[in-house]
């Protein structure tokens, strides 16, 4: 076992072409085969090998989760191309998008206060549709290598992702 595997980017690790579109079942198959090779339980007799296997297994899990998640995958792929996406500090959005976010948050708050599960599920469906539309736009822009304007879509995808998590949390509470 060698530590060279830790130097591979996530696409190299899974022997995938670095594209935004990833086949989840292929990714899962490759993850299973990598975990079979490098799982720490396979190296319990040798402490050094076990330590290395733990690091490699963690790298495999992080890579898998990143490539499986549309938002994380887009950010990671742009990083490969040398483009940094800062979702924390880059908070400039169009007024239209910001207004839409305010309206969505107000609708979610109202539905939560009234415990209107149907309304929350309706908003959730609307958000999932918007999320999917952005994924399609991002896919197209990656194909066109139009990296300069993907960042705005990724930032919006991040907002939708947060709102979907918020709705999920509320639905779990009710």
- DSSP 8-state assignment for residue 69: S
Q: Write down the H helix ranges in the chain.
A: 10-13, 24-38, 47-68, 70-80, 95-113, 117-143, 150-173
pTM: 0.86
Evaluated on CA atoms 63, 65, 70, 72, the torsion sign reads: negative
**Would you say 88 and 157 are in contact if contact means Cβ atoms under 8 Å apart?**
no
Give, for all 174 residues of the chain, the pLDDT tens digit. 567 889 999 999 999 999 999 999 999 999 999 998 887 777 667 677 778 888 898 999 999 999 999 999 999 999 999 999 988 888 788 899 999 999 999 999 999 999 999 999 999 999 999 999 999 999 999 999 988 789 999 999 999 999 999 999 999 998
């Amino acid at each position: 076992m060698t530590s060279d595997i830790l130097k591979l980017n996530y696409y190299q690790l899974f022997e995938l072409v670095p594209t935004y579109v990833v086949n989840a079942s292929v990714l899962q198959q490759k993850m299973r085969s990598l975990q079979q090779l490098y799982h720490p339980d396979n190296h319990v007799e040798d402490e050094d090998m076990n330590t290395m296997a733990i690091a490699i297994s963690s790298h495999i899990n992080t890579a898998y989760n990143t490539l499986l998640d549309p938002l994380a995958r887009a950010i990671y792929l742009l990083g490969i191309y040398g483009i940094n996406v800062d979702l924390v500090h880059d908070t400039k959005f169009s007024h239209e998008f910001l207004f839409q976010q305010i309206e969505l948050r107000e609708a979610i708050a109202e539905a939560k206060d009234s415990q209107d599960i149907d309304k929350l599920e309706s908003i959730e469906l609307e958000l999932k549709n918007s999320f999917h539309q952005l994924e399609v736009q991002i896919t197209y822009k990656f194909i066109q290598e139009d990296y300069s304007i993907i960042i705005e879509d990724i930032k919006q995808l991040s907002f939708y992702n947060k709102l979907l998590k918020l709705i999920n949390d509320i639905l779990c509470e009710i």
